[in-house]
Copies of this chain bind each other. A is one copy, B any other.
């Protein structure tokens, strides 16, 4: 099997790169921005793209969502959840007490504020965590860089202090997106959609959720997003348990599509981690019996 060409947000040594390393049969292609990366998938320059969707501390990654919602018709095929651990990196031989200033990307610096404060370290912003590691490697100064273990390896740096982040449970959810295919159902799936209301019919959010509640579909995420048509005009990014190949999900989506201005399908794909509740399976068993009951009744309907 030929390797798929999969884009990621570079430079080398980024957390995206680390996430991509968990996949097999892949030829990595670095991009400088999420916009460029999604565009390259859309115009078939590459086969698929791996992009960050959500971070446990920062929330949704706007560039990814906006690209999927407004700019392209792509489909999420897979998710990869990567724990985010940050390390203080320096050239071999440099000790913690020698370091006076630390370089990294603005978000990474924000996540190690406690460590910097405790050790009286100044901070300098760079354009990425990888760039910080490169700067440190190429300098003769006793500088530190905050970044991933992979970045340290790539640029020959040592780990002076590991896991220096303020929140030890940080993680980023990456997704692999493609052009057409929808992932096969596994019985343990999630679906992501975006719903646009009719602008002249506000207040339909509650009714919208009712369509899920009435079908026992468990919504795991709901987030209003600006539609870029002015402040206060939102669409709704939703994630819920189940796959579009499940009849109850298909029925719910069709129902939403019939009542809203538009529903955009962003993919059904396997859940990583603990996943869907067992209650779902109970409901399904009872529903199978119920379907047989209704089929028997319908079998008695006289011809028109």
Which A residues fall within an 8 A CB radius of B?
35, 54-60, 62-63, 75, 81, 110, 113, 125, 127, 167, 169, 171, 173, 180-186, 202-203, 205-207, 209-216, 218-226, 228-232, 234, 236, 243-245, 250-251, 253-259, 265, 268, 283, 286-287, 289-291, 293-294, 297-298, 300-304
Total identical chains = 4
User: Contact between A167 and B205 (Cβ–Cβ < 8 Å)?
Assistant: no
Q: Which residue of B lies closest to A222 (CB)?
A: B224
Since A186-B304, A207-B214 are in contact, a sample of 9 more A-B pairs with Cβ atoms closer than 8 Å, ordered by chain A residue number, is A169-B228, A171-B231, A184-B303, A185-B304, A221-B234, A222-B236, A251-B251, A256-B290, A258-B287
Closest to A214 in B: B214
CB distance from A224 to the nearest CB of B (A): 5
Chain A binding surface SS class: mixed
Contact of A255 among B110, B202, B215 (CB under 8 A): B215
A240 to nearest B CB, angstroms?
A: 11
Q: How far is the CB of A232 from chain B (nearest CB, A)?
A: 6
Q: Report chain B residues within 8 Å CB of A81.
A: 231
**Cβ–Cβ < 8 Å partners of A213 in chain B:** 206-207, 210, 214
Report if A58-B226 is in contact (Cβ < 8 Å); known contacts: A215-B214, A300-B182: yes
28 A-B contacts (beta carbon < 8 Å): A56-B228, A57-B226, A58-B226, A59-B226, A81-B231, A125-B127, A169-B230, A171-B230, A173-B231, A181-B302, A182-B302, A183-B301, A184-B302, A184-B304, A186-B304, A202-B218, A203-B218, A205-B219, A210-B214, A211-B214, A221-B224, A222-B222, A253-B294, A254-B290, A254-B293, A255-B290, A256-B290, A257-B293
Separation of A253 and B289 alpha carbons in the complex (Å): 12
Which chain B residues lie closer than 8 Å to A302 at the CB level?
A: 181-184
Q: Is the CB of A54 within 8 A of B214?
A: no
Q: What residues of chain B lie closer than 8 Å to A232, measured between beta carbons?
A: 220-221
A231 touches B297 (CB 8 A): no
User: How long is the Cα–Cα vector from A179 to B58 in the complex, in angstroms?
Assistant: 25
Within the complex, the shortest CB–CB distance from A69 to chain B, in Å, comes to 11
A168 to B16, CA, bound (A): 33
State whether A182 touches B301 (Cβ < 8 A).
Answer: yes
Task: Return chain B residues, CB-CB under 8 Å to A301.
Answer: 181-185, 243-245, 268
A293 to B, closest residue via Cβ: B257
Report chain B residues within 8 Å CB of A57.
226, 228
A290 touches B257 (CB 8 A): yes
Q: Which residues of B contact A180 (CB under 8 A)?
A: 300
Residue of B nearest to A170 (CB): B228
* Docked-complex contact B225 and A59, CB < 8 angstroms: yes
**Contacting pair B286 A259 (CB below 8 A):** yes
A113 / chain B contacts, CB cutoff of 8 Å: 35
State the 9 A-B residue pairs at the shortest beta-carbon distance, nearest first.
A214-B214, A257-B290, A258-B290, A258-B286, A254-B290, A258-B287, A184-B302, A182-B301, A254-B294
